[in-house]
Structure 1
């Protein structure tokens, strides 16, 4: 009993050293989390209840900013609809196209390096440069795409100048830069054990059956990763929609110019664009913070739903 009492302080010191060592290893992440996530989130919640124009000191206004955004702001509905539309359509098509191209490249017998490079190169283009090139290609008056469609007798749409085609055009732009997902899916596909394919072929399984019962169970964690990261990125969709809308409208972008996003007819307006417009063009920081919190809540809800096993992307055994 005396020995146990004597060793107790030593054990406590040992556990304390282990905790301090663990805390030391975690400290870079803890500092980054606090500075770049915790503090901004708390500040955003604080300013959402304040009237603050970034010049005068903030004053408490209660739920006035929330009521303004949720009940009175006319552009909140279109911006939220456009953002959710892009999340559903863009993320789904990017995953399907990325997986399809990954399957195609892994099945090619010769020239794999060329096709892999050709599909990956567009992803390396800067977002602004890629958007400028894409708007030029789809220009309804002088773009080569419409000229080719006209020569073969197809009525060409107005693409970024048509509210009905603006968001599909942005989806086409995102599919053009599908190289990131292609590489991720290629790595997952090449990691599937070949013995399972051979066993399935011996059992007489066709191509679809092999994909359904061999390939898909092996790559479902990667599909989950692609969907979740795609949702988070698309919830922050800003640059491509803003640049495409301004170029299609014909308004020059230069120093001192005030950019009103959403052309044409608010069809490309997203919530991040509205946050920037409110906070840094109209100096309505409180309303901008409310929009940021709404977007954060939606992103968290969608991500939580996808991460749950009942979402269907992961089997119960994973």
Structure 2
């Protein structure tokens, strides 16, 4: 025989017990400490990044030369780009630089990573030595050194003379000036190489052992094991190096003396922004150029992420 308890006869549920006052004080203290440690980054985000970005967005719709107050001109700066031949020239130079140097840099970095992954003695020394160009590649000192190497009496021409070839001034020839900068960017392969090497170390050795048992060659193992499992690392390096190449500035500025010459053959997009802002003091037009670059990088990055689902393998 069962009985049903009425609402008035049911046992009362225990009241919810919150954290004790000492625990509340400890949690509050932790939250204050977290906000205190985060405050420098938040202040920097607002003052150094967000505020200048919003200011440049406003200036992109104005005519502003620093000496006078900004005058709102609407979309005139963006319409001006359509008829600006140097804008299109800088876009072409930068696009060629990115399309050629990034794949070459990643291919060379992967090749060196495969060699170092074989377990050489003193691996840490080689790794540090190869990483060093990535730290120095965008510096003024290396750009000056590169200017000397490819000059009329530089090391490249001296080496060519040893085999009876008459060299040229590579930096003053519009057909070769940009390629010297592409070589410089490829030379800074250390950062993606270290990331590739870390990715290679994460591939299970059992997969290679099973492939050897089945009689697979080194080339087939590289094609069907190494590359598929390394595609997330390739994608990561591709995104970083593409964004970095679009923002290249120091090399072209030093080698061309800030002119982008000869005949605008080294006129990077960032260098053209610099000329408009700090040579012509046309801050409104320079801000519009900067926002076009930002949007271009965002679109290209989004395109990379969209296409990645067709070739990046995450193992799931």
Name the TM-score class by shorter chain.
0.7 to 0.9
* Partners of 2:64 and 2:71 within 8 A in 1: yes
Correspondence for 2:148 among 136, 140, 148:
136
C-alpha spacing 1:135/1:313, structure 2 compared with 1 (3 Å): farther
Query: Does the 8 A contact of 2:93 with 2:268 survive in 1?
Result: yes
Instruction: Output the CA distance in 1 between the equivalents of 2:56 and 2:313.
Output: 37
TM-score by length of 2: 0.83
* Kept in 1: contact 2:229–2:315 (CA 8 A): no
Aligned length: 295
| Equivalent residue number for residue 75 of structure 2 | 63
The structure-2 alpha-carbon separation of the partners of 1:36 and 1:217, relative to structure 1 and needing over 3 Å to count, comes to farther
**Structure 1 counterpart of 2:269:** 271
Q: CA deviation at 1:149?
A: 1.1
Distance 1:109 1:279, change over 3 A: closer
Aligned residue for 2:161? 150
Alpha-carbon distance in structure 2 between the residues aligned to 1:91 and 1:162: 23
Shift of 1:227: 0.7
Q: What CA distance in whole angstroms lies between the structure 1 residues aligned with 2:314 and 2:215?
A: 27
If the length of structure 1 is used for normalisation, what is the TM-score?
0.82
Q: State the 1:163 CA deviation.
A: 0.9
Provide the residue aligned with 1:297 in structure 2.
295
Q: Which residue of structure 2 aligns with residue 249 of structure 1?
A: none
Question: Given that residues 223 and 313 in structure 1 are in contact (C-alpha distance below 8 angstroms), is that contact kept between their aligned partners in structure 2?
Answer: no
Check conservation: 2:102, 2:186, Cα contact below 8 A. no
C-alpha contact (below 8 Å) 2:232/2:313 kept by paired residues: no
Q: Residue 115 of structure 2 aligns with which residue?
A: 104
8 A contact 1:160–1:244 mirrored in 2:
yes
Gaps of 5+ in 2: 1-6
Counterpart CA distance in 1 for 2:68 and 2:236 is 44
* Aligned position for 1:52: 64
Residues 67 and 107 of structure 1, relative CA distance in 2, 3 Å threshold: same
Answer whether contact 2:102 2:242 (CA < 8 A) is retained.
Answer: yes
For residues 125-177 of structure 1, what are the alpha-carbon distances to aligned partners after superposition, in whole Å with 9 as ceiling and x for unaligned? 362111111221111x2112212212213353432111111111111112222
